[in-house]
Structure 1
Amino acid sequence: MSYFLGIDAGGSNCRARLIAADGTVIGTGQGGTANARIGLEPLYATLRAVSDQSIAEAGLARDQVAAIRAGMGIAGISRPGVRDALADFAFPFASVAYETDAFIANLGAHGGADGAILILGTGSIAQVRVEGRDFTIGGYGFPISDEGSGAALGLSAMRHALRALDGRTRATPLSRAVTERFGHDTARAIAWMDAASPKDYGSFAPLVMDHAEADDAIARSIVEDAVQHIERFIETIFERGATRCALLGGLAPRMQPWLRARTVAGLSAPMGDALDGALLLAGYGRTAR
């Protein structure tokens, strides 16, 4: 009997789902950050940990573990040298297939068929499959890319807030809420920015959305600028040949009401999640090409 293991290893957390050949979920796993940027040894340790969690929950024997076919979507594996290094990862499985986390999210969203996703989270990226050909749009990394993302919203909020402290623009509830985190002290804000990660900037995104929905002028301008980027992302996805597009990511539900009605009408609901895509990558059901 075959078993299939899907892993979604992203910048915030790592999830695993183990199923039997009939699709029954028999084990799950959960871990912390697991993208390639954390280093290969910590990445491998996290992948093994969530795999072991799911196997322990399923109660599989050693010979059953050897029958597992695994599919793993890992953030950051497009970085030079990472894919080659993955070949040295030792797993006691029948097979392991690796792809990016965006790749498996797109597989899951469209059941392995052609389609596209636009992921709006801490960062942003579009993953597209057209006639079996897979490619990405954007997603080059913060701050040069990630338009319309949580990190981009946070960066804009910091810029506006510091200008308000200088008196170059009028303070609003959003700018005051942002600078309050630093005691309204420009020097403290600059010190924070020296070490801030995209995730740190993204922590301001809910604040920006809250104030935009409350009609704060600065917050609205930030969100409206982000919407222009998102609209153009979606237009490009269809121009590049996609027939379906789903909006994914933690920021997507809050951004969707700001999009034009005709844009929303062209979007499709996802058929499944990234773990469904990882299982397709592993070989369950329709084999991913």
Structure 2
Amino acid sequence: MSTGGPHGTHAVELGPHRVVKRFRAGDREEGEREWRALRLLAEHAPGLAPAPLAAGLGTEEPAITMSRLPGERLRGRPHDGPALDALAEAVRTLHSALPPAVLADVPPRPGLAHDLRAHLRSWASRVRVPPRGEADAAMDLGLRWLDRSDVESAPDNVPPVFGAGDGNLANYLWDGRRARIVDFEDSGRSDRAFELAEITEHVGSWVDEPLDVRAFLSRFSLTAQESARLRDCRRLLALVWLFLLSFDEERQRPRNPPGTAERQARRLTALLT
């Protein structure tokens, strides 16, 4: 997912001017996606992301060296007007960075709606019937919505964009003036509604300092088709997060505060009703 620290999963070495990100041996594809993204953005949107410095992706421990960006993570801090403006501007710049001919050659990002539907189907056996609690009831409601949804197919009139592939606000760095983006291991071709839903529904957007979703989304001019798709993508990703947070609470050492799954159940229910 993100770039190390309390909200990350990869080994990251921070130097004064550069960062080395190390991937597990089986995660070479993640490194390749990140390296491709950094190179494309350095050409088409310089300054938005770290500059690519070196890549060693054919080794037992794949690694990428990139420049170190200034700023503090937007996750876990209040998001005032200027910070929201900067966040939205960074997202808009990312989505429109690549010329259409270049974007057409970028593979779809992993974890799109059809992938998530498959995961949800494999997880559905864990839902207790009849539901025994708030989370189970919301899962059941969400799965019934999924049965009649066509969320996995973006309409033809929804244009593709370049997507970061991870909505964690820890990946957006704010220096008081501008927001920049890190962590592109799941990047690729996507659509704007799905990528915006990745941000609004990520647990990092509400478990600490909540993102003002209405204010954030108001900074984007969406078509009617994108708005309809955004609603469904938010529902889909909220359902995915409900499962993930429920699984997290079953761990011996959960990563999130107690009751997070129940809070997510209420979020999902509100989106579905």
Larger radius of gyration between Structure 1 and Structure 2: 1
Q: Normalized against structure 2, the TM-score is what?
A: 0.29
Higher strand share: 1
